[in-house]
Amino acid sequence: MAQNLSMSEQLMYSTIRIECRTADNQVSTGTGFFVRFLENGDEFVPAIVTNKHVIEGAVQGKLLFTNSDGQGNPFNTDHISLSYGNFESIWIQHPDPDVDLCILPMVPILNHLHSLGKHPFYKAISTELIPNYEQLSDLRAIEEVTMVGYPSGIWDTVNNLPVIRRGITATHPNINYNGKDEIMIDAACFPGSSGSPVLIYNDNGYVTKSGNTVLGGSRVYLLGILYAGPQFTATGDIQVIDVPTTNRPIAVSRIPMNLGIVIKAHRLLDFNHIIQ
């Protein structure tokens, strides 16, 4: 009998660590997360979501899954490692070149693993958690956000689990930051955090825009996907760059400003017609 996981525990199994190697032998890490596309009742198309720049130029890549124990429970210390050549080419790019998103449909992966007697344990985030217009309109300018991923490549190597971090919205979640389908968050966004899901996760009550307090109620929204952030350079300039995936030496020292730019989650729905 499978154990019952709380929502916060399910979030621990919603991400996957992505390792890449480029032609010049540079190694980097990023975050991917599982999403249910084209949901129709119990039927859906599972896929891994990350940023284009995470897998850009990757000639080799590795995905690390957690195996199940055969009864629907995660077997944390039993890992399944899958390696790919021409890694960048197996991902489906978002059709808009200005949207830093890509997906990897999981059906071929799952079929391959099942043929080997492997049954990976993961929890895909439902697209039904993407807030609609009415839900966004009821959000305040300052909301607490939760981000799940692998900052600086850090993760629980024994149990193959990510790091969960919290912050707040730095711009209003219902307003497009700088006119794009993006918002800014105030959170520590380090190398490896690219591709992390950013959620509103209230498990014990919350306050609505009108000031009403919902006691004991839960609220979970997928706000978006982290992809970039402003960084302070040693020369005093402020530049907005993709959240890096590698810690390789660079000429100009860049210091994260604990701000991140997040692609609004509704841009994931653009993949539906491609998958279909």
> If 0-12 CB within 10 Å is exposed, 13-18 middle and 19+ buried, where does residue 248 land?
exposed
CB 182 within 8 A of CB 198: no
Give the pLDDT confidence score for residue 221 in this predicted structure. 98
CB 245 within 8 A of CB 106: no
Extract the residue ranges of the chain whose pLDDT is less than 70. 1-3, 230-256
Tokens for 45?
Answer: 């198309």
For residue 106, the one-letter residue type is M
The strand pair at 120-121 and 58-68 is best described as: antiparallel
**How remote is the C-alpha of 15 from its chain's centroid?**
6
Q: How far is CA 151 from CA 4, 18, 30, 82, in A?
A: 28, 12, 8, 21
- Does the reported pTM lie above 0.75? yes
**CA 167 to CA 147: how far, in whole Å?**
8
* SS3 letters across 73-136: CEEEEEEEEEEEECHHHHCEECCCCCCCCEEEECHHHHHHHHHCCCCEECCCEEHHHCCCHHHH
196-244 pLDDT, tens digit each: 999 999 998 999 898 889 988 889 999 999 998 766 555 555 566 565 5
**CA 253 to CA 168: how far, in whole Å?**
26
Give the pLDDT confidence score for residue 85 in this predicted structure. 96
